[in-house]
Amino acid sequence: MNRQQLKSRKKWTVTAIAAVIILVAWGCTKTVSENTDAESIAREDNATGPHTENVKLQYKDSILYYRSAPKNYTVKPIRKPKVPGYFVPSPEGLVINASNGTIEVNNSEAGLHYKVYYMSMTNEPIDSVTIRIAGIDYEDGIFEIANTSEHDTASPVYEGADSTFPCARGNGQCSFNETDLDGDGDSDIDGVNGNKLQVNKKNGVIDLEESFNNGVFGSLTPPNGIFKDFTIHYRLDDPSQKALNKITIRLYHFKSRDQIPAWLIDELKRRKESYDAVDAPATQGNFIQSNLYLLAPKRPPLIIIVSGLTTTLR
């Protein structure tokens, strides 16, 4: 082998070695990069000591949907802080196992968003997440039906937030005032429309004025303070795949706004303030201890009809 060939071969060897070094270095970098998140999670999940509370509470999904089967559909947290503790939902309505955080979706009140707190054994909040059970809600409110030319209506709110309502245009894919509860094609109940609560079967809008004029309270001149509960069964064209759902609402009647008792006005205010607090972050100290268990329940929705009747009602 002459000197030129030897020089060429040595140059090729050096280049090959350099290439191998670069490939190995790139592979190591790539492996480190790919494993960073997993290793970080592993370190968090195996954490001990004063910073254990940094391990986050997490469910796979933040929006949960009813399912047709099984009836006892449950969802467990995929991560939780390692320190001993227990789970507390707010407001009432979310059925959850206090020990392990398992949520019974189909047994929970749908159409609301909840804050799930993970609490230490000394009753301090360690972490929290927001969970929504998809479905409809109706806002609490006062409706003075004699003060407007158009009929007063109560419209459903979907998923407890400003989400796109799958039945907004009444396209026939949703069903309200559902009477066939087992899906066999036969009616199992009369439904609320049969009890004079006028609910649009396609979009769930309640015509309160028509309901009142039809005698929803059992009389065209009902007494002050009378109330009735109605359970509306429905199916939504959303990821629940039209699983049977329901909501119970409470209708009150008063002749005039000033005859609504102060305790009921206070209840409407307290509900709104409490429900807004669901979006507040978990904080250390006495906030949770003093307020968490006092948050007003959101159900049933309170719909107050003020009729404006001139007759003296007793």
CB contact set of 71 (below 8 Å; sequence gap of 6+): 106
Domain 56-133, CATH number (from 2.60.40, 1.10.132, 3.30.1360, 2.60.120):
2.60.40
Q: Assess whether pLDDT exceeds 80 at residue 283.
A: no
Check residue 171 and give its pLDDT: 59
Cβ-based neighbour number of residue 189 at 10 Å: 13
Q: Assess whether pLDDT exceeds 90 at residue 304.
A: yes
Question: Which residue type does 182 have?
Answer: D
* Calpha distance 253→263 (Å, rounded): 15
Task: Give the pLDDT mean for 212-224.
Answer: 94
- 301: its two tokens: 């929705």
Task: Give the pLDDT mean for 98-104.
Answer: 97
Q: Assess whether pLDDT exceeds 70 at residue 287.
A: no
Check residue 314 and give its pLDDT: 37
CB contact set of 209 (below 8 Å; sequence gap of 6+): 145, 151, 152, 153
Domain locations along the chain: 1-48, 56-133, 137-306
Residue-wise pLDDT tens digits, 20-73: 333 334 443 333 333 333 334 444 444 444 444 467 899 999 999 999 977 789
Task: Give the pLDDT mean for 280-305.
Answer: 63
Q: What is the dihedral of CA 248, 249, 253, 258, to 10 degrees?
A: 140
> Bridge-partner residues for 114, per DSSP?
131
Check residue 113 and give its pLDDT: 86
